[in-house]
Amino acid sequence: MSFESVKAQHDSALMPTYGRFPVILNHGRNATAFDDGGAEYIDFGSGIGVTSLGYCDPGYVKAVTTQLNMAQHFSNLYYNETQIDCAVSLCRRTGMARVFFGNSGAEANECAIKLARKYSFDKYGKGRSTVITLCNSFHGRTVTTLAATGQDVFHNYFFPFTGDFVYAPANDLDALKAMIDDTTCAVMIECVQGEGGVMPLDTAYIQGVRALCDQHDLLMIVDEVQTGIGRTGKLLAVEHADVKPDVVTLAKGLGGGLPIGACLCREGLEDVMGVGMHGSTFGGNPVVCAGAKYVLETVDNPDFLKMVSAKGDFARRRLETMPHVKEVRGMGLMLGVVLDDKVNAKDVANLCVKCGLLILTAKSLLRLLPPLTISKDELRRGLSILETVLKEWN
Ligand SMILES: *Cc1c(COP(=O)(O)O)cnc(C)c1O
C-alpha cells in the first residue's frame, strides 16, 4: 500500500491528536527500525524513551513470551508471583518500600498526588492539598496531571482543571520557599525536565528541595517517568544528587515497550493508600511485569550503567562539533541539542527521517533518547546522518 492510502485510512479512523512523521514503521532490531518497505532508520527516540533495551532484545522477548504462554492477565483480586517478583525487585533496587502499578506515567503521577494528599489529610486534616510543581514541567495528560504540568500551553479547553497546583520557577530555592504555606502537601519535580526542553535541575536545588520538604513535612515527589531506569546513567536520576525522595514515579523505559506505570513510596508511607483507595484493572499485568523485571535487572548493573554514561559522553562530544549546535545538555542518554537561529528543530527532525534517522524534539531543541543498548555503530551512523542533515543549512 502506498503511504498516501495508509495515511487516508489512518485519517478515517484515528482522532488527529498526533503530528506524525511521514513514515510507516513495521519492525525493529535494537536501535534500528525498519519501515514497511524494509528501509532502515537509526532510532534515537526509542518510542520516546520507551524501548530501553531496543527492539526485540532476545532476553526481553523470552521473559515476556514465557509469561504470555502461561497467562496474559490476572486480576488484582488475586496474587500473582510475576507481579510480586517485579515489585520486590523494584523496591529492592530503588530502596523504596512499596509500589503501586498503573499503566502509564500519568497514572503513576495520579497515584503520587493522591498519596501526598492522603498523607497530609491523615496527619493534618483537610486544607493541605496544594502540590507545588515547577514551571516548564510535564507530568501527563489527564485532567489532574495537566494541572500539575507547569506550562500554560497545556491549560486550555478542558476546564475546570484539578485545583491546588502552583508552579515555582526551576532552580530558585527562595521562590520555592516563598510559595510554601499551610496549604502545601508536596513538591513534585523532574531532575531533568524532559518535555520542557531537557533542562537538568541543579544538584544544590534538588538537595534544597529535600531540605525544605523535611522542614515543612511535605512529600518530595520525583517524577522519573522519563529520567528513570538508567536513562541518565544511574538507575534513578535523583541518585546524581544523592537525595532520597519520598515518592518516585516511573513509566516509559521501565516497561521496555509494554505499558507500565509505577508509583513507589519510601518506608513510613507503606499504609497511606489503603484497601479500595486506588486501583487499576490492568495495572501490574503479569506480561508487562515480566518485561519490566527483565529491563530492571538488565539495567541495574554497574557495567551497563557505565556504558550508558560512556555512550552519552561520546554522543555529546560528537554533537558539540556539529554545525548549528549551540549547546548540548542533559545526562547519560537523555540529551537535548540547542540549535542556532538558522535552523528549526522540527525541520531538522523531518529531514532526518528522510535520511534514515528517527530523532525527537522538545520545545525548540532536538532530543535524543536512544535505546540504552544502542551499539556504538548505530550511534555513530545516526550521528553522522544528523551531521549531514545539519550541513544542509548554512
Ligand atoms: C511522558 C511523561 C509523563 C507522562 O507519561 P504517559 O505514559 O504519557 O502518561 C509524565 N512525566 C514525565 C516526566 C514524562 O516524560
Query: The CATH number of the domain where 147 resides is what?
Result: 3.40.640.10
Check whether residue 37 and residue 133 sit in a common domain: no
Give the mutation target among 225, 227, 258, 260 for probing the ligand 1 site: most ligand atoms within 8 A of CB: 225
Whole-angstrom distance, CA of residue 288 vs CA of residue 54: 16
DSSP, residue by residue, 35-89: ETT--EEEESSHHHHT-TT-BT-HHHHHHHHHHHTT-S---TTS--HHHHHHHHH
Same domain, 35 and 100: no
Residue ranges making up the domain that contains 14: 3-57+302-391
Answer yes or no: do 334 and 217 share one domain.
no
343 in the same domain as 205: no
One pLDDT digit (tens) per residue for the chain, 394 residues: 899 999 999 999 999 999 999 999 999 999 999 999 999 999 999 999 999 999 999 999 999 999 999 999 999 999 999 999 999 999 999 999 999 999 999 999 999 999 999 999 999 999 999 999 999 999 999 999 999 999 999 999 999 999 999 999 999 999 999 999 999 999 999 999 999 999 999 999 999 999 999 999 999 999 999 999 999 999 999 999 999 999 999 999 999 999 999 999 999 999 999 999 999 999 999 999 999 999 999 999 999 999 999 999 999 999 999 999 999 999 999 999 999 999 999 999 999 999 999 999 999 999 999 999 999 999 999 999 999 999 999 8
Q: Is 104 in the pocket of ligand 1 (CB under 6 A)?
A: yes
* Secondary structure element (H or E) that encloses residue 373, with its range: none
**205 and 316: one domain?**
no
Considering the domain boundaries, does residue 260 fall inside one? Answer: yes
- What's the gap in Å between 186 CA and the centre of ligand 1? 19
Phi, psi (degrees; rounded to nearest 5) at 382 = -65, -45
CA–centroid distance, 340 to ligand 1, in Å, is 28
325: cell is 549546535
* Cβ pair 356, 41 in contact under 8 A: yes
Residue nearest to atom 10 of ligand 1 (CA): 139
Same-domain pairing of 264 and 275: yes
Local structure of residue 182 (DSSP, 8 states): T
With b meaning 16 or more CB within 10 Å and e meaning fewer, what string describes 330-359? bbbbbbbbbbeeebebeebbbbbbeebbbb
Q: Is 210 a pocket residue for ligand 1 (Cβ < 6 Å)?
A: no
Query: Does residue 66 form part of some domain?
Result: no
- CATH number of 382's domain: 3.90.1150.10
| Residue where a domain terminates, one of 299, 320, 336 | 299
Q: Which of 270, 299, 328 is the last residue of a domain?
A: 299
Residue 44: CB within 6 Å of ligand 1?
no
DSSP class of residue 150 equals B
Number of domains in the chain: 2
Q: Are residues 220 and 207 in the same domain?
A: yes
Neighbours of 286 (CB within 10 A): 22
pTM: 0.98
| Atom from ligand 1 closest to the CA of residue 226 | 15
- Domain boundary among the residues 244, 272, 299 is at 299
Question: Can you tell me the distance from the alpha carbon of 90 to that of 224, in angstroms, rounded to the nearest whole number?
Answer: 13
Residue type, 119: Y
